[in-house]
Amino acid sequence: MEHDNATPHVFPEARKPGELFYSLIFLATAVALLSMIFWQTSVLPGKGFSAQPRTWPFISLTGMTLFALANLVVTSRSARTPGRWREVGIWVRSLEYVGWYLLYVAAIPVIGYLTATLAFCLFMTWRSGYRSGAAFAAAAGFGLFVVLLFKSLFNVKIPGGAVYEFLPETLRYIMIRYF
């Protein structure tokens, strides 16, 4: 049966840009995790095979390694399409947002959960290209909602900011407890 160009092909014959690089990273990660299994897990005496803490992670990581290897073999045999490094560049640029999140997490113990969350939401709104007052109002509302939901309603224990120490005692208690 001849392939019709109007319908998508289920099994493409050429690899997509960045697919080989992804396959290599996936295999390297799987092998690294599998190599650590023996000193990161233990064997408990008197327990059956399926009750051992090492069993299911070992099975999962072995499967991950085998599928990563199969993916690499299939990908390396496919015809190359241009644009691999451009695609990898997009992946690397997206790590910027991981950095912003890590900065947000580091800021919480210093400036407090409320201030850090509002600043993070507003900055991410600006960084994503939204510049209208409505967008910033929505971001601030979302940030306040998140803080109230987690700190007040769910009672999640998040450390208070160091700046709270400069507040009057009653206000400091409220900020640490609810914000």
Please list the residues that pair with 79 across neighbouring strands.
14
Residue 78 and residue 99 in one domain: no
Residue 104 and residue 161 in one domain: yes
Residue 71 and residue 112 in one domain: no
Provide DSSP, 100-164: HHHHHHHHHHHH-HHHHHHHHHHHHHHHTT--SHHHHHHHHHHHHHHHIIIIIIS----PPPGGG
Domain hosting residue 152, numbered range: 95-178
Q: Where among 58, 82, 106 does a domain terminate?
A: 82
> Does the global pTM surpass 0.75?
no
Q: Is residue 102 part of a domain?
A: yes
Residue 49 and residue 124 in one domain: no
pLDDT at 1: 47
Q: Where among 56, 82, 108 does a domain terminate?
A: 82
Residue 111 and residue 78 in one domain: no
Q: Give the C-alpha separation, 91 to 82, whole Å.
A: 16
Q: Where among 51, 82, 113 does a domain terminate?
A: 82
pLDDT at 168: 94
Distances (CA, A) of 100 to 43, 140, 164, 174, 176: 40, 17, 23, 28, 24
Residue 102 and residue 37 in one domain: no
Closest-CA residue to 125 (of 140, 112, 107, 146): 140
Provide DSSP, 26-90: HHHHHHHHHHTHHHHS---TT--GGGSTTHHHHHHHHHHHHHHHHHHHHHHHSBP-S-HHHHHHH
Q: Is residue 13 part of a domain?
A: no
**How many structural domains compose the chain?**
2
**Residue 22, Cβ density class (10 Å: 0-12 exposed, 13-18 middle, ≥19 buried):** buried
Residue 105 and residue 75 in one domain: no
Residue 56 and residue 129 in one domain: no
pLDDT at 25: 94
What averages of pLDDT result for each successive group of 10 residues across the chain (179 residues)?
A: 59 74 93 94 87 92 96 85 82 93 97 96 97 98 96 89 93 89
Q: Give the C-alpha separation, 1 to 109, whole Å.
A: 64
Residue 101 and residue 155 in one domain: yes
